[in-house]
C-alpha cells in the first residue's frame, strides 16, 4: 500500500521506516510542527511524581537546567513510545499505562499512594483528554506545565496533491484528534475533499477517528487499543 503519515517529526520518520520494512510505500507529510517552549517554568516542588502524555513533552524538558532533579523522580507515561523516550532521556524509574489518559490516571492512582504532594504534568497546549481533571477527582493536586506547542501545517505540498488526484494514496495514518483535523483542513485547502472522504483512514482511537467520521469519511478503521502496534495491525493483520 502507499500510505500517508501525517504525525509530527521525529515520530513520522520512525513510523515511515517501520511501514517500509513491511513492504509499504510511504509519504511523510507532518501536519503538526512541534515547537518546544523556550523557557519552561515550573514551581519549586516537591512532587510525588511526573506525568507525560507525549514524547514531545519529554524531549522538550530533556535539556532543562533542572532536569537532573526531575530525572530522579518516578515518571508515568501514557504509552510505551513515551516511556522509551523518557528512559532514553535519562529518567531512572518510568512506568507506562499502555493506554489512554484515563489508563494513565488509574496507573498513577494505583502506584503513588501519598496524595500530600502534587503530580507534575508536562504537556502541550492542545491535549487529548483531561489528565489533571481526572486526577483531581481522585484527590490529587496536579501542576500542569506547558512544555511544547504543536502548530498546524494547513496545506499539502505539490507531491501529495498530485498523488491524491491520481489515486496514488491508499491510506492515511492518524495518531491524534488534532492531526486528523489538520488533515481535513489541509485537504480542504488543497481542493481534495473527495479524496479525504474516499481514502482509507487508520486511527489510533475513537477520539482520533471522530473528526474524520464527522466530515463524512467513508472508511475509518480504529485500532483495538490506543497503541501503535494495534494501529499497524489494521494495515498488516497478524
Specify the range with the lowest mean pLDDT, choosing from 13-27, 53-67, 145-159, 185-199. 145-159
Report how far residue 200's alpha carbon sits from residue 232's, in angstroms, rounded to the nearest whole number: 13
Please provide residue 46's backbone torsions phi and psi, each rounded to the nearest 5 degrees.
Answer: -80, 170
Highest mean pLDDT out of 47-51, 122-126, 156-160: 47-51
Whose cell is 524509574? That residue is 93
pLDDT on residue 188: 92
Clarify whether residues 98 and 127 are in a common domain: yes
> Of 150, 177, 200, which residue constitutes the final position of a domain?
150
Report how far residue 75's alpha carbon sits from residue 130's, in angstroms, rounded to the nearest whole number: 18
Clarify whether residues 133 and 163 are in a common domain: no
Q: Are 96 and 79 within 8 A, CB to CB?
A: yes
Average pLDDT over residues 110-125: 90
Clarify whether residues 52 and 141 are in a common domain: yes
Report how far residue 44's alpha carbon sits from residue 143's, in angstroms, rounded to the nearest whole number: 11
Q: How many domains does the chain have?
A: 2
Task: List all residues 6 or more positions away from 148 whose beta carbon is below 8 Å from its beta carbon.
Answer: 34, 35, 36, 37, 54, 56, 57, 59, 60, 124, 125
Residues in the chain: 238
Clarify whether residues 217 and 202 are in a common domain: yes
- CATH number of the domain to which 47 belongs: 3.40.50.10090
Domain around 139: 35-150
For residue 130, how far is the Cα from the chain centroid? Answer: 14
Give 38's pLDDT tier (boundaries 50, 70, 90). confident
Clarify whether residues 196 and 219 are in a common domain: yes
Clarify whether residues 73 and 107 are in a common domain: yes
Grid cell in block for residue 22? 513491511
Which is nearest to 229 in space by CA: 105, 74, 99? 99
Clarify whether residues 117 and 206 are in a common domain: no
Average pLDDT over residues 146-162: 87
> Of 150, 166, 192, which residue constitutes the final position of a domain?
150
Clarify whether residues 125 and 225 are in a common domain: no
The pLDDT of residue 127 is above 90: no
The pTM score is: 0.74
The mean pLDDT value of the chain amounts to: 91
SS (H, E, C) 2-55: EEEECCCCCHHHHHHHHHHHCCCEEEECCCEEEEECCCCCCCCCCCCEEEECCH
Clarify whether residues 134 and 199 are in a common domain: no
Give 226's pLDDT tier (boundaries 50, 70, 90). confident
> Of 118, 150, 182, which residue constitutes the final position of a domain?
150
Give 217's pLDDT tier (boundaries 50, 70, 90). very high
Clarify whether residues 160 and 136 are in a common domain: no
Clarify whether residues 59 and 127 are in a common domain: yes
Clarify whether residues 77 and 136 are in a common domain: yes
- Write the pLDDT tens digit of every residue in 96-109: 999 889 999 999 99
Amino acid at each position: 500500500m502507499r500510505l500517508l503519515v501525517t504525525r509530527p517529526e521525529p515520530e513520522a520518520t520512525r513510523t515511515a521506516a517501520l511501514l517500509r520494512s513491511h513492504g509499504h510505500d510511504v509519504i511523510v507529510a507532518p501536519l503538526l510542527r512541534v515547537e518546544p517552549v523556550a523557557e519552561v517554568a515550573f514551581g519549586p516542588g516537591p512532587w510525588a511524581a511526573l506525568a507525560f502524555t507525549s514524547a514531545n513533552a519529554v524531549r522538550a524538558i530533556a535539556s532543562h537546567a533542572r532536569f537532573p532533579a526531575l530525572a530522579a523522580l518516578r515518571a508515568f507515561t501514557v504509552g510505551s513510545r513515551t516511556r522509551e523516550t523518557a528512559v532514553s532521556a535519562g529518567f531512572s524509574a518510568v512506568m507506562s499505562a499502555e493506554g489512554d489518559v484515563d489508563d494513565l490516571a488509574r496507573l498513577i492512582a494505583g502506584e503513588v499512594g501519598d496524595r500530600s504532594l502534587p503530580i507534575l504534568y508536562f504537556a502541550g497546549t492542545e491535549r487529548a483528554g483531561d489528565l489533571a481533571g481526572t486526577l483531581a477527582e481522585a484527590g490529587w493536586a496536579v501542576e500542569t506545565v506547558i512544555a511544547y506547542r504543536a502548530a498546524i501545517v494547513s496545506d499539502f505540498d505539490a507531491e501529495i496533491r498530485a498523488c491524491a488526484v491520481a489515486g496514488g494514496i491508499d491510506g492515511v495514518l492518524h495518531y491524534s484528534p488534532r492531526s486528523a483535523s489538520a488533515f481535513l483542513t489541509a485537504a480542504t485547502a488543497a481542493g481534495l475533499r473527495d479524496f479525504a472522504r474516499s481514502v482509507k483512514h487508520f486511527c489510533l482511537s475513537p477520539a482520533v477517528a471522530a473528526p474524520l467520521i464527522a466530515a463524512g469519511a467513508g472508511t475509518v478503521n480504529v485500532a483495538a487499543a490506543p497503541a501503535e502496534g494495534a494501529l499497524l495491525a489494521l494495515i498488516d493483520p497478524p
